[in-house]
A and B are shown apart, each in its own frame.
Chain A
Amino acid sequence: MLTCRRACLLVLAPVLTCPLVSAQTGYVSGNEFNPAISLILDGRYAQYHDTFELPGFQMGPESELPAEGFSLGHSELTLSANVDDQFYGSASVAIAEHDGDTEVELEEAYLETLGLGYGATVKFGRFLSSIGYLNSQHEHAWSFYDAPLIYTALFGKTLYDDGVQARWLAPTRIFLELGVEWTRGARFPGGENDGNEGKSLFIKLGDDLGTTASWQLGASAYSTRFAERSSEGHAHEEESTDSAELIMEDGDVDIVGMDAVFKWAPAGQPRHQQLVLSAEYLQRKESATSNFIEDTNSLIADYEGKQSGYYVQAVYRFHRQWQTGLRYDEVKPDNDFTELEAAGIDMEEFLEETELGSDATITRNSAMLAYSPSEFSRIRLQYNHRDWDEGRDDLWVLQYTMSLGSHGAHRY
């Protein structure tokens, strides 16, 4: 509307021979400046046998499987708009059920500068971290219903936090972006700390290969500290461990990662046919004092953890409305515990109870088929097969994801 008026004025003033001038006139109304509203509806039917376990990892939030049978995923409401000529703002609220409780999560609420210039942009508030490739994408934009195992293992699902992000786009013909983030660092795998211990660094490089293909490479690092981090989620399935508690104290966490994406579409037309290959590798090193308490027994140990994993996936759109994809996941823990103080519980028992001593590789294969009548709707069937040293698990999920209202552009 504003563009139109401005442009018309520009045309009208000096060029009087303007035969077709915009007919768009209107009245000023209170809702002309409403932000773009987008609502994502997500529901699924899931079938599986076993609970979700990742032996060797202390589990973060949201790492559980969807409820068996029918359930709703994240119903996500996003409002976004330019605040003025200097700022853009966006907020995403997700309503989801965890362990039978309906929770409202403010996933993102950030402001971003538009007018700094020189390729610089500053984002502040709560936002998805730009580390990795999948992390900054909203869940509904993922090609599979769930996060890769390494994301689940390291972040619970994804890393988002409160703080500031500054990024700079180099004035080069090739895409080169550098960014830093400074955040509270209090979310998993961090925890309450002296304040603002979350720091990350990322670099992204990308370009086209002719008109049919494009690529992006990224490298990132994240570090935080915590005074205390307790175990959440479902690291262990046995009811008897309810009275057991594992608390990590005075911890340091360092994560590094690399990611690569390659996209190909005949004639550069991704709408009808497109192949997307992506892979990410992430590694976490952490140290803390582990404090395990079970009834009146306890064990204090020095913890040195090293965990890593990767995924590779291929997603192919073979028809305007159909996509299929394959993903391979692998995570490997390698933790060291040195006993400092024990009372009534020995190391062996502790490692068995918490499964943190496991160094077995966990692998998962996933396949999906998705049908999208339009770009606003999708029905997806996914199969996951997971293997680890103690067993195997099969999971089927039939999911719908629908986008109502204004739907913004997706990231690359």
Chain B
Amino acid sequence: MKTLTFLIALLFPVLCRAELAVFACEPEWAELTRQLGGSRVSVFAATNALQDPHHIEARPSLIARMRNADLVVCTGAELEVGWLPLLLRRSGNPKVQTNQPGHFEAAMVVERLAIPTTLDRAQGDVHAAGNPHVHLDPRRLLTIARALAQRLMELDPEGEPQYRDRVDAFASEWQRRMAEWESRATPLQGARVVVQHEDWIYFNDWLALNQVATIEPKPGIPPSAADQKRLLNTLYQQPPQLIMLSAYQNDKAARWLADKLQIPVVVLPFTVGADEHSATLPALFDRTLSLLLQAHAQTADH
């Protein structure tokens, strides 16, 4: 009998779950939803920090999770265009389809940067709605947190007082930390940095880092040997101070360039869970700042 109950529980999680089943496309949104929802939500993260969210397969397991979700929290702005639409269509779940209250795209509630004026695939993997990597700007993240809390209240009105308390607590804590991060980051202002992919644009915009080059010749296109040489030649004139690389990215091109220019490559967590020091959203920013400040201090010594 015990085995039977266990089997039923395993097969039909739908019968024994928290108020809201949330399907989060990326770990940052999974963590944010957990912070805002507490025990009223059960969150599934479709990807981990070491996976490139641009290139995920619409695997059977993800379709099954989507089927039972009450709310889908994704980045949007076409980041998940290669897999999310298919998951939605195959899920047979009307609650989470685009334009339903159960469908939340974080990037669409904030101002996005780098919205292209022309769309041409010759420009690489460009996103018509602008750069989707909005979570690395804590100011935007706060806006998203408020919008997401609002959405949770709409979907689960009974939990409204709890969501309200949690989002208020999150916001005041976040604002306090944000001021702290900004003051800690003063030495980084104007630092000349190179990135692998255009995924640090919001972070650099927030702390006024001077992004002088991107290793990818075009978004999503890996650099050829010729591209790397060309980049090296332009950077020789006025070398950058460090290279920012996200944990999920291939480090080959960055290491080569760093070696030639004698500058450090800083492997940054990019999102929650990439290393043991980045288990929460505040920890993610703490860790990112520590790594950058440490590398920056080293190059300043030279």
Binding site for B on A (CB under 8 A): 2-4, 6-8, 10-11, 14-15, 17-24, 82, 85, 88, 112, 114-121, 167-177, 204-208, 211, 214, 216, 263, 267-272, 320-321, 373-376, 404, 408-412
Q: Does B82 count as interface, using CB distance less than 8 angstroms?
A: yes
Binding site for A on B (CB under 8 A): 10-14, 47-48, 50-52, 54-61, 63-65, 67-68, 76, 81-86, 89-95, 97-100, 103-105, 108-112, 115, 121, 124-125, 129, 139-140, 143, 146-147, 150-151, 154, 220-222, 248, 250
Give 7 nearest A-B pairs by CB, closest first.
A206-B60, A175-B60, A409-B86, A271-B55, A115-B94, A175-B64, A119-B92
Closest approach, in angstroms, between the C-beta of A390 and any C-beta of chain B? 42
State in angstroms the CA–CA spacing of A118 and B255 once bound together: 50
State in angstroms the CA–CA spacing of A410 and B95 once bound together: 23
Closest approach, in angstroms, between the C-beta of A318 and any C-beta of chain B? 13
Among the listed A120, A173, A267, A409, which residue makes an inter-chain contact with B13, where contact means beta carbons less than 8 Å apart?
A173
State in angstroms the CA–CA spacing of A271 and B280 once bound together: 27
A263-B57, A268-B51 in contact; A176/B103 too (CB < 8 A)? no
Among the listed B10, B60, B125, B143, which residue makes an inter-chain contact with A20, where contact means beta carbons less than 8 Å apart?
B143
State in angstroms the CA–CA spacing of A170 and B250 once bound together: 38
Among the listed B12, B59, B85, B104, which residue makes an inter-chain contact with A172, where contact means beta carbons less than 8 Å apart?
B12
**Residues in A neighbouring B147, C-beta threshold 8 A:** 7, 10-11, 15, 18
Closest approach, in angstroms, between the C-beta of B14 and any C-beta of chain A? 4
State in angstroms the CA–CA spacing of A147 and B57 once bound together: 22
State in angstroms the CA–CA spacing of A225 and B10 once bound together: 42
**Residues in B neighbouring A272, C-beta threshold 8 A:** 250
A7-B104, A22-B110 in contact; A208/B59 too (CB < 8 A)? yes
A82-B98, A119-B93, A176-B64 in contact; A410/B150 too (CB < 8 A)? no
Closest approach, in angstroms, between the C-beta of B42 and any C-beta of chain A? 12
Closest approach, in angstroms, between the C-beta of A219 and any C-beta of chain B? 15
State in angstroms the CA–CA spacing of A5 and B125 once bound together: 25
Inter-chain contact A411/B58, CB cutoff 8 Å: yes
Smallest CB-CB separation from B167: which chain A residue?
Answer: A15
Inter-chain contact B57/A270, CB cutoff 8 Å: yes
State in angstroms the CA–CA spacing of A208 and B44 once bound together: 14
A-B contact pairs, 21 of them (CB 8 A): A3-B76, A10-B154, A15-B146, A21-B110, A21-B143, A22-B112, A24-B129, A88-B89, A114-B94, A117-B93, A119-B67, A169-B63, A169-B64, A173-B65, A175-B61, A175-B63, A214-B60, A269-B248, A271-B55, A321-B222, A374-B125
Question: Assuming A119-B92, A173-B64, A270-B57, what are 17 further A-B pairs, CB within 8 angstroms?
Answer: A2-B98, A10-B147, A22-B110, A23-B112, A114-B97, A121-B90, A121-B92, A168-B92, A171-B12, A208-B61, A269-B51, A269-B52, A269-B248, A320-B222, A376-B121, A409-B83, A410-B57
Inter-chain contact A412/B68, CB cutoff 8 Å: no
**Residues in B neighbouring A82, C-beta threshold 8 A:** 97-98
State in angstroms the CA–CA spacing of A332 and B182 once bound together: 71
Inter-chain contact B97/A112, CB cutoff 8 Å: no
Among the listed B57, B64, B115, B221, which residue makes an inter-chain contact with A174, where contact means beta carbons less than 8 Å apart?
B64
State in angstroms the CA–CA spacing of A410 and B59 once bound together: 10
Closest approach, in angstroms, between the C-beta of A157 and any C-beta of chain B? 23
**Residues in A neighbouring B100, C-beta threshold 8 A:** 85
Inter-chain contact A14/B61, CB cutoff 8 Å: no
State in angstroms the CA–CA spacing of A4 and B48 once bound together: 26
**Residues in A neighbouring B55, C-beta threshold 8 A:** 269-271, 375
Closest approach, in angstroms, between the C-beta of B222 and any C-beta of chain A? 6
A11-B109, A19-B143, A114-B97 in contact; A268/B48 too (CB < 8 A)? yes
Smallest CB-CB separation from B106: which chain A residue?
Answer: A7
Inter-chain contact B58/A409, CB cutoff 8 Å: yes
State in angstroms the CA–CA spacing of A18 and B171 once bound together: 12
State in angstroms the CA–CA spacing of A22 and B112 once bound together: 7
A3-B98, A3-B99, A412-B58 in contact; A173/B11 too (CB < 8 A)? yes
**Residues in A neighbouring B89, C-beta threshold 8 A:** 88, 112, 114, 121
**Residues in B neighbouring A10, C-beta threshold 8 A:** 147, 150-151, 154
Inter-chain contact A214/B61, CB cutoff 8 Å: yes
State in angstroms the CA–CA spacing of A14 and B164 once bound together: 12
State in angstroms the CA–CA spacing of A211 and B56 once bound together: 12
**Residues in B neighbouring A175, C-beta threshold 8 A:** 60-61, 63-64
**Residues in B neighbouring A23, C-beta threshold 8 A:** 111-112
Closest approach, in angstroms, between the C-beta of B207 and any C-beta of chain A? 16
State in angstroms the CA–CA spacing of A234 and B112 once bound together: 58
**Residues in A neighbouring B48, C-beta threshold 8 A:** 211, 268
**Residues in A neighbouring B125, C-beta threshold 8 A:** 374
